[in-house]
Structure 1
Amino acid sequence: MVDEFLKWYFSRNPVAASSLGAEGYDHTLGDFSASAWAGREREQAEWLDRLSALDAPTLDDEIDRDLVLSQLRGSVALAAWPEWRREPAVYLSPIFASMYAPFQRRLKPEPELVASALLRLADVPAVLAACRANLDPDLAAPLLVKRGLGQARTGRNFLTRTIPSMVEDEVLRAKLAEAAEPAARAFDELVTYLEGFECGGTWRMGEQLYSTLLREREMLGYGAAELHEKGKAAWAELDARMREVARKVNGSQDWRAAMEFLMDDHPDTLEAMRAEYEAETLRAREFVRDRDLVTFPEGEECLVLPSAEYTRPVLSVAHYLSPPPLTSSRTGIFFVPFTPDDFTPEQVRQRLRTNSRAQMPSISVHEAYPGHHWHLSHLAGNPSTVRKVFRTPYFSEGWALYVERMLHEQGYFDTPATELAHLDCRIFRAARIVVDTALHCDDMPIEEAETFMATKASLSPGTAQGEVNRYCAWPTQAPSYLTGAIEIERIRESYQGPLKEFHDRIAGSGALPLGLAEKAVLS
């Protein structure tokens, strides 16, 4: 029945299916009409009932079933918070991702990639028309519409220039550019529509739904209020440690000032930043291999590239694109956070400062080795299809932050500067817990949240603004990093066996809700 569910899931989510590497879904963007959304919500509830009654003969079967149930419980709960009526990103992100990732990964011959792109381009006007039809002015929040507008404004250039420029064959390139024009006009129409769209909804999820997602989807034993307190306690503990380390950097206990000092040592240009990240990524890989901390998958490779143009208005930090887990590829991409083209020199400088040389080791460990890239390359070898399909950031982001601390224990951050930056990365995630829970439970205005992130972590005001904007649009995701890391550290304390064995086993079990990860490792 789980296999039957996956077939249903892929048919209703063809962009996700194609991104995962499932064959037969790269010809369409899917149906984004209101009736299709309502149908999916009804069918999800039916699947939840069916799978809840399913017996599992083995532990692996039980984990697979419970993983699907956790996802379905989250989706059913979110039906009360219909994102498809609230924000443009629901329609924009699948277009951008489905067009960009295949050409970036290049796992098929170029003529096949272009043929699929042509079919998807034909769907774009209908998807954007559905966006205009479905957005509800009483539910949509001005902040989320403005965020979507920023993305939509990149659509024409993305479709008519960026994507064709990734095609090597001149004839195919011209064909793709010509076919992109109707889709580009649809983006122009959406931009005009959103510029005049008036709405009065809220982006605040509310404590009840937020806590339900923590308990039902993430399978944590607590809700938003307790998570908020955990974040405050973690911040206070890290603050005390950072005061000690800061003395070794600038002679005072002011770690914020010490980090400001360290951030002045940064690459001069965006491309220089990318090159230094690439070198640091290779150093982290060799360190992990020399210490024999994990088993490396055969054929894995991590490319270090500039972030995609369409992500630059909405993502101000490094991020990672995994190899499609349903394929044989083990090549992932560590995207370095380039700025939008319209950024001022000062805005670019601030971005470079928040990617200083002291910070690069932690970020490279997190994104690549043995963080996201190693984990997701290793996970791709799991025989369970459903564990490759459904991943929670509370494990995947938790794992990436866990390995930062683990490499610190192994001696990787071997100077006061890199140790302080490592701790700053962790206290930043503690601040995220405090802010995200407070924002969505109606306890903190946006301006206060931006000030909190700019003073309780080493973020520039501009980066802090971008971060808070992201939290408003993506409730419950920001706390996943430190929450997951703490839970994985707790599981490690209970594990009886070598460290490498623990890493291979828990990371290879999937990116499961933490309760299931604990069961997979300790049972």
Structure 2
Amino acid sequence: MTRQPFPRLKASAAALLLFGMGALAPGAQAKEAAPLRPQVAAPLSSFDAEVNTFLAAYWRMFPDAAVAAGRYAEAARLPAPTEALRKQQLAFAEQWLQRLAGLNKNTGLSAAQAGDLLLLDNHLQALRWSLTELRSDRWDPTEYNVADPFAQLLNKPDFAPLPQRLKLMDQRLRQVPAYYQAALAKLSEPSPLHLKLAIEQNSGALSLFRDDIPRAIKQAGLKPAEAAAITAHNAKALSALEEFIAGLQKIEKAQAGAGRSFRLGKALFEQKFAYEIQASVDAQTLYQRALAEKEALLQRMSAYADQLWPQCLAGEAVPADRSDKIARVIAKLSERHVAPERFVEDIKAQIPALEKWVVEHDLLTLDPSRPLVVRETPTYMRGVAGASISAPGLMDPKGVTYYNVDPLDKYTPEQAESFLREYNHWVLQVLNIHEAIPGHYVQLLYSNKSPSKVKALFGNGAMVEGWAVYAERMMMESGWGAVDGKPSAEMGLMYAKWNLRVVSNAILDYSVHVLGMSEAEAMNLLQREAFQSHTEATEKWHRAQVSSTQLSSYFAGFSEILALREALKAKQGSDFKLKAFHEEFLSHGSAPVRMVQKLMLGQ
């Protein structure tokens, strides 16, 4: 599961959201220490003014990124993804890299400001690399989808009255035909898997134009002529979307399974890893660490299985094979799960208990004024992860955070049972911790309150995913899941299984895109070695193919956050306070962990 929208690094303006792109360029690690040293403070207004100038220019160049940040008025603009636009974006990156290089010579920057500058510099380097080397605009049609800003405007009554929002939508609607024409022309031998997903996701967007926007027009009380004009523009947009889907289907039929491979290959994967993950190690080293952690987890799970065997499988012989033994116990425990029709409702019901636990155990300060709404995932967002968080941007202080959950109606009864065994009584609790409290939902609220706009807007996906995984650890350490005040072996085994999934994500990611792992090998890793259900393993294999590097972010971020906590414990001794650590760590927005480490340790 993942937080939405932390996208893959993309070139198209429509998909260039802010998170996960503020990483170092490959080879830049040795240069990081110097800019982060505290210096004599310069006037804040000078640095802040330059940041504000950059952001204003950035919003103009990338209006969909502005919408993601909460600047909903920018949804009125929808630049067509033409070759001319790509060149304009590249020129923008080059111009601002040169301009910000001048600020880098300012020895008066504080450590926090220097960190901001580093993030901006590397965001632009990542953009330049994406536009010139990755070039996913030519082979990944999932980049082309106009739906989300329309949905944002429909669901933002606090931004503006409906008639005003419809006027913005009308401006955007007029640009949809040119957008999709340019998108179709841009594609060259697209990856068949991405092609299929793009058809599914854009088909999911059809209901916006067929149902949602016409319904809003009727509800808005517009003058007849105005309503008729918007209706006409909406009809043309719907037709353009249908033509785009038909065009993708035509390409799919003509390619007959040919086209670009979904695998990035070693060079592109390592470059993308450096930009997006921004870990203290490279991709291959993280892969090797994940292999070692996998074995440590299996040893722990074996001990839990020995403890649980007598009560789960009394009278049966314990298998000699370690994997068989663990799998048998997990299979027995997994019989306890929610009914399929109660899946979304059960998630909703658990959120208050998590909030209460965090407050009573003094783990973090929560903000009751910022609601979390559990909803079924919109159809145009489905097909990558079964659960995700859609958080309001920095510029939307009153926005609602959505916990998106895919309903199970897409499954056969057998598939639903397989899914629910994966998300059984214990694992579903860990999922809710990860996605909601005190995971993504809480971290992103803190990030938006950070004094640094840059660290909130141009944050690091590995920090965000790493925090969600760390939040699980935090809750288990505080006693969540205990029975009668004693640690639960059942929760211990299932939590270790979940951690094994985090580790296996990194192994799978590298193996698929660099080592050429086959589907059979991937399914063996996920089912036999990581004890995942067939449905979960099948969907993870699909996700590994249509994404890259994001699956590595969980293990990369978690391991570095945990290492930072232990380093601070050693440094502060009896003065270390867990809540203080959590809140100081989260105060730095969504900055890369190694940048936060320098700020917190004073290095």
Structure 1, unpaired ranges of 5+:
none
- The amino acid across from 2:293 in the alignment is A
- Specify the SS of the correspondent of 2:58: helix
TM-score scaled by length of structure 2: 0.80
**Structure 2 residue aligned with 1:389:** 457
Query: Is 2:532 the partner of 1:459?
Result: yes
Q: 2:125 aligns with which of 67, 73, 76?
A: 73
Task: For residues 322-369 of structure 1, give each alpha carbon's deviation from its aligned partner in whole angstroms, at most 9, with x where no partner exists.
Answer: 122212226311112224x65433333433333322212111111111
SS of the residue corresponding to residue 426 of structure 2 reads coil
In the alignment, structure 1 residue 149 sits paired with structure 2 residue 199: yes
In structure 2, distance between residues paired with 1:98 and 1:63: 30
CA deviations on 1:181-203 (whole Å, 9 max, x unpaired) are: 32222222122211221252122
* Stretch of structure 1 that moved more, 392-401 or 253-262: 253-262
User: Which residue, 85, 88, 93 being the options, matches 1:44?
Assistant: 93
| Amino acid corresponding to residue 324 of structure 1 in structure 2 | G
Q: Relative to structure 1, is the Cα distance of residues 292 and 47 closer, same or farther in structure 2, using a 3 angstrom cutoff?
A: same
Q: Return closer, same or farther for 1:25/1:324 CA change in 2, 3 Å cut-off.
A: same
Residues 438-481 of structure 1: CA distance to partner in whole angstroms, max 9, x if unpaired? 11114312342234223333433333222222222221111101
Shift of 1:490: 0.6
User: Structure 2: which amino acid aligns with 1:304?
Assistant: V
Of 481, 492, 504, 1:419 maps to 492
Q: 1:364-384 CA distances to partner (integer Å, 9 max, x unpaired)? A: 111111111111112211122
Residue 131 in structure 1 maps to residue 131 in structure 2 = no
How far apart in 1 are the matches of 2:117 and 2:179? 32
Change (3 A) 1:114 1:245: farther
CA distance in 2, matches of 1:297, 1:381: 11
Cα shift readout 1:420-452 (whole Å, capped 9, x = no counterpart): 222222111111100101111143123422342
**SS of residue paired to 1:363:** helix
* 1:183 is aligned to 2:226: no
- 1:113 maps to which residue? 165
Distance 1:330 1:23, change over 3 A: closer
Aligned partner letter, 1:336: V
Identity among equivalent pairs (%) = 24
Residue of structure 2 in register with 1:101 after alignment:
152
Letter in 1 for 2:371: E
Q: Could you say what secondary structure the match of 2:589 adopts?
A: coil
Q: CA deviation at 1:503?
A: 0.6
Query: In the alignment, which residue of structure 1 is the partner of 2:467?
Result: 399
> Structure 2 regions of 5+ residues with no counterpart?
1-49, 483-487
CA RMSD of aligned residues (A): 2.4
Aligned CA distance change for structure 1 residues 336 and 234 (closer, same or farther; 3 Å): same
Equivalent in the alignment of 1:260: 331
Say if 1:124 and 1:457 are closer, same or farther in 2 by CA, change over 3 A: farther
1:336 corresponds to which residue? 405
User: What is the DSSP-based 3-state SS (H/G/I as helix, E as strand, rest coil) of the residue aligned with 2:86?
Assistant: helix
Asked if the contact 1:84/1:135 (under 8 Å) is kept, the reply is yes
1:456–1:42 Cα change, 3 Å = farther
Give the drift of 1:77: 2.5
- Does the 8 Å CA contact 1:506/1:520 hold for their aligned counterparts? no
- Separation in 1 of the partners of 2:303 and 2:351? 28
1:408-447 aligned at under 5 Å gives the runs 408-414=476-482, 415-447=488-520
Deviation track 1:204-226 (CA, whole Å, cap 9, x = no partner) reads 22222322333345432322221
Q: Is the 8 A contact 1:262 1:358 kept in 2?
A: no
Deviation at 1:179, TM superposition (A): 4.5
The 5-angstrom pairing of residues 7-26 of structure 1 reads 7-22=56-71, 24-26=73-75
Q: SS in structure 2 opposite 1:83?
A: coil
2:173 and 2:351 map into 1 onto residues whose CA distance is 36
Q: 1:452 to 1:326 in 2, by over 3 A?
A: same
Question: Are positions 1:58 and 2:110 aligned together?
Answer: yes
Which of residues 433, 440, 443 in structure 2 aligns to 1:375? 443
Give the aligned partner of residue 520 of structure 1.
Answer: 599
- One-letter amino acid of the counterpart of residue 466, structure 1: E
Partner in structure 1 of residue 380 of structure 2: 310
- 1:345 counterpart = 2:413: yes
1:279 counterpart SS class:
helix
Partner amino acid, structure 1, of 2:581: F
How many Å separate the matches in 2 of 1:518 and 1:248?
Answer: 38
Offset at residue 23 of structure 1 (A): 5.6
Decide whether aligned partners of structure 1 residues 366 and 237 sit closer, same or farther in structure 2, where only a CA change above 3 A counts: same
- Give distance in 2, aligned partners of 1:104 and 1:244: 50
CA contact (8 A) 1:288 1:294 kept: yes
In 2, Cα distance between equivalents of 1:167 and 1:336: 28
- Compare 362-371 and 242-251 and name the one that shifted more: 242-251
Give the whole-Å Cα distance in 2 for the aligned partners of 1:219 and 1:262: 38
Alpha-carbon deviations, 1:47-104, whole Å to 9, x = none?
A: 2233234235111110110111222222223230111111111112xx1221223434
Q: Distance in 2 between matches of 1:482 and 1:71?
A: 22
Residue number among 358, 370, 374 corresponding to 1:300 in the alignment: 370
Question: CA 1:217–1:147 in structure 2 vs 1: closer, same or farther (change >3 Å)?
Answer: closer
Of the two, which has the highest radius of gyration?
Answer: 2
Superimposed CA distance per residue, residues 367-412 of structure 1 (whole angstroms, 9 cap, x where no aligned partner): 1111111111122111222122112210000000011011111111
Distance change (3 Å), C-alpha of 1:472 and 1:48: farther
**Distance (Å, rounded) in 2 between the aligned partners of 1:239 and 1:370:** 27
Change (3 A) 1:155 1:330: closer
Q: Which amino acid aligns with 2:424?
A: S
Do 2:433 and 2:439's aligned partners in 1 also have CA atoms closer than 8 Å? yes
Classify the secondary structure of the residue corresponding to 1:478: helix
- Tell me the equivalent position of 1:214: 273
1:39–1:256: structure 2 CA closer, same or farther, 3 Å change rule? farther
Alpha-carbon distance in structure 2 between the residues aligned to 1:447 and 1:177 = 50
| 8 A Cα contact 2:263 2:512, kept in partner | yes
SS in 2 for 1:265: coil
Aligned match of 1:87 in 111, 123, 140? 140
Larger relative CO (CA 8 A, sep 6+): 1 or 2?
Answer: 2
Alignment of 1:492 onto 2:565: yes
Taking the aligned partners of 1:180 and 1:246, their CA distance within structure 2 comes to 58
Q: Contact 1:212/1:223 (CA < 8 Å) preserved in 2?
A: no
Contact 1:280 1:360 in 2 (8 A): no
Q: Which range is displaced more, 276-285 or 189-198?
A: 189-198
Query: Matched residues in 2 for 1:30 and 1:259: separation?
Result: 51
The one-letter code of the counterpart of 1:37 is R
What residue number does 1:205 align with? 264
Q: Which amino acid aligns with 2:99?
A: R
Question: Cα gap change, 1:276/1:23 in structure 2, threshold over 3 Å: closer, same or farther?
Answer: closer
Q: Distance in 2 between matches of 1:513 and 1:29?
A: 31
